[in-house]
């Protein structure tokens, strides 16, 4: 239920490391994940996922606590319940999930949009969030810690383990396409496609984390470029002749995951250190 997978990991010659992870965790801790400002993020949206797909997840594998702690004063629960009390607590949680699913299904049947019907399922949803950062030490110190919520502890340890097990790829300043940190872009695509297209593909694939399982669907490069055009591009005509003017405002969070080494390892770019963020370069017209 709680997982973290590295999708891109890069390091400069000066030792500045940038890591992008795809994380799965209970939605009920998502607001806490959002408090960490060093993260660039794109997350699954209740407004984007079809109700039927959300119902399947909630009914078959609802998000649950990882520790069924006993009540006591303060923010942290006591020892985990045992015996009949534990079984009853789990039964009540699953009963609530099934009831929420039934209500959401009825809402969909009367014609409510998924942006409404899915809301009652949120306590039991699993989030999928893409996270990119260059600075991790403070996050791990706070969340891979006994004082953190048990579910957040599990997530932080999973992220820490995934990052520790990953071998970052060397990206050197000034080497063109090879310099860029580009989540979801393959080595073959790097060989075949120009840098401008690679950045568009990466951004589009990062945007799709809100509704797409990257392991089951692989949109074409043309579809990626079209989606980039709808998100952030300057005046642009797609393959069907549709014209896009520059978005106002830009839907720019998907272009925060791509980066290129900074000339100086200590340089900062938005929330990155040692790397220049694509969003900053794009918004300043340098890319």
Tens of pLDDT, residues 106-129: 999 999 999 999 999 999 999 999
- pLDDT at residue 229, as a whole number: 83
Task: Label residue 220 by pLDDT band (50, 70, 90).
Answer: confident
Q: Which of 120 and 230 is assigned the larger pLDDT?
A: 120
State what percent of residues in the chain have pLDDT above 90.
75
Tens of pLDDT, residues 250-281: 788 999 999 999 987 667 888 999 999 999 99
- pLDDT at residue 180, as a whole number: 97
Tens of pLDDT, residues 25-55: 999 999 999 999 999 999 998 888 899 999 9
- Across the chain, mean pLDDT equals 90
Q: Which domains does the chain have, with CATH numbers?
A: 3-67+94-165 (3.30.1360.170), 171-283 (no CATH)
- pLDDT at residue 159, as a whole number: 98
pLDDT at 239 over 70: no
Q: Which of 130 and 248 is assigned the larger pLDDT?
A: 130
d(CA 22, CA 132): 9
pLDDT at 174 over 90: no
pLDDT at 215 over 60: no
d(CA 278, CA 181): 10
pTM of the prediction?
Answer: 0.90
Asked if residues 43 and 29 have their Cβ atoms less than 8 Å apart, the reply is no
pLDDT at 156 over 80: yes
- pLDDT at residue 232, as a whole number: 78
What is the token pair recorded at 13?
Answer: 């010659």
Mean pLDDT of 239-243: 63
* E-state strands within the chain: 3-11, 17-26, 40-43, 126-133, 169-170, 236-237, 243-244, 259-261, 268-269, 272-273, 275-277
- pLDDT at residue 230, as a whole number: 82
pLDDT at 212 over 80: no
Which is nearest to 29 in space by CA: 153, 208, 157?
153
Mean pLDDT of 241-247: 57
- pLDDT at residue 236, as a whole number: 55
Mean pLDDT of 140-161: 97
pLDDT at 213 over 60: no
Backbone angles phi, psi at 10, to 5 degrees: -135, 155
What is the token pair recorded at 203?
Answer: 């951004």
- pLDDT at residue 240, as a whole number: 67
């Amino acid at each position: 239920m709680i997982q973290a997978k590295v999708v891109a990991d890069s390091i400069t010659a000066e030792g500045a490391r940038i890591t992008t992870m795809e994380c799965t965790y209970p939605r009920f801790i998502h607001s806490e994940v959002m408090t960490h400002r060093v993260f660039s993020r794109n997350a699954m949206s209740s407004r984007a996922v079809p109700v039927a797909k959300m119902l399947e997840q909630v009914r078959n594998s609802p998000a649950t606590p990882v520790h069924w702690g006993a009540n006591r004063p303060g923010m942290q629960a006591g020892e985990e319940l045992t015996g009949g009390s534990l079984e009853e607590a789990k039964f009540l949680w699953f009963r609530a999930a099934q009831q929420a699913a039934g209500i959401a299904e009825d809402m969909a049947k009367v014609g409510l949009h998924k942006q409404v019907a899915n809301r009652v399922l949120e306590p039991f949803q699993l989030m999928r969030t893409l996270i990119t950062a260059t600075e991790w030490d403070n996050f791990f110190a706070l969340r891979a810690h006994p004082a953190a919520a048990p579910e957040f502890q599990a997530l932080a340890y999973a992220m820490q383990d995934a990052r520790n097990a990953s071998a970052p790829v060397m990206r050197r300043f000034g080497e063109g396409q090879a310099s860029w940190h580009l989540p979801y872009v393959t080595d073959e695509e790097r060989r075949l496609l120009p840098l401008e297209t690679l950045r568009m593909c990466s951004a589009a694939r990062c945007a799709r984390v809100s509704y797409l399982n990257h392991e089951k669907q692989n949109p074409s490069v043309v579809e990626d470029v079209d989606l980039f055009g709808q998100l952030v591009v300057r005046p642009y005509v797609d393959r069907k002749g549709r014209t896009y003017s520059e978005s106002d405002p830009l839907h720019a969070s998907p272009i925060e995951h791509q980066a290129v080494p900074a000339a100086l390892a200590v340089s900062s770019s938005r929330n990155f250190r040692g790397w220049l963020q694509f969003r900053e370069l794009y918004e300043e017209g340098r890319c």
